[in-house]
Amino acid sequence: MKFIISGGGTGGHIFPAVAIANEIRRRQPDAEILFVGANGRMEMTRVPEAGYSIVGLDITGLQRRLTPQNLLFPVRVFRSVRAAGKLIEQFRPDAVVGVGGYASAPVLLAATSRGIPSLIQEQNSYAGLVNKLLARRVSKICVAYDGMEKFFPADKLVLTGNPIRTEIALGDRAEALAFFNLDPAKKTLLVIGGSLGARTLNQATAAALPRLAEAGVQLLWQTGKLYYPEARQQVAPYAAQHLHALEFIQRMDLAYAAADVVISRAGALSVSELCLTGKASVLVPSPNVAEDHQTKNALALVSKGAAVLVTDEHAAVRLYDETLRLLADPARQQTLSERVRELARPAATTAIVDELFRLIKN
């Protein structure tokens, strides 16, 4: 069997796509899986690292202001749909999956115009533009939140949860501490601002380095590529205190295993991973997203007593007060951990691939 999985742009799209591919391959080891991404975007690196082939299209998103790139947008879409059509005719997939992001649009347009079974996976509580535009063309739409009929045809919806790599929850703590050169006697804080980094979290963390060192807390700080050079210099004086800045954490299973508390944005993938790993967390929703959907994601946990919320505008003052208070309270960490585990959907990837195989069979 042959599958095309399209989309990307951020880790929130790429890692669910890889999880779906892994489940397909687990069921059918000889399945042929081809990813389609956007040239210049992070999927062109991350997907091959996961062991899959990828083809890039010359497609970009619309800018929010009038730019020369926007004037060229219709031309790029036309060329990308034509290129996607040629790719589909050559590869002849049994089904196509779109996970959101620029590249999924031309692929799904080309696939649905040829009658190929197609499925969308929407990660967020507020649907992305590409997925909303293509909803009526595809066969099924797998979602992670209730109430998504306000964006999609209700008869196509399946509530599955978000697909995440199941191995993310299987990291061994002893191995993790050795891997990251951490002290088993100290508390560990993990800071993740998404695959591209988060300015607010990075600025707050840089300012808090002396407090962390004084409190005897060690740090795994994923900064993102743009912020890494400065962050590396900022943590250099604290190397003996095990404060580490990392551009990107490939072994997130070990990062979660090492962490006592996590500071994170509230993207859909991050929230799903926190639920599956059962980590006590302080969530700082990004304000730069459609319809403030990260706050909605965070409140889904906070309302159940499963996480702590600090707004982006208050992070500079409150974030590390809340975090150090939580790190000093093992009983509260345990409560948050137990409650967040109750919200996990560990079978999400299985359910999505079930739907995909059902479409092919039908």
Binding-site residue numbers for UDP-N-acetyl-alpha-D-glucosamine are: 10-12, 124, 165, 195, 249, 268-273, 294
- The Cα 20–Cα 88 span in angstroms is 19
What is the helix (H) or strand (E) element at residue 256, kind and residue range?
A: helix 252-258
Residue 41 sits at φ, ψ, to 5 deg, of -100, 165
CA 334-335-338 angle, 5° bins: 85
Q: What is the distance between the terminal CA atoms of the chain, rounded to a whole angstrom?
A: 15
Report which of 159, 166, 127 is spatially closest to residue 140, judged by C-alpha positions: 159
The amino acid present at 69, given as its one-letter code, is Q
Q: Are 352 and 121 in contact (CB under 8 A)?
A: yes
Residue 346 φ/ψ region, left for φ over 0, alpha for ψ in the -120 to 50 degree band, beta for the rest: alpha
Q: How far apart are CA 246 and CA 255, in angstroms?
A: 11
Nearest to 343 by CA among 167, 144, 166: 144
CB neighbours (10 Å) of residue 51?
11
- Annotated binding residues, written as ranges, equal 10-12, 124, 165, 195, 249, 268-273, 294
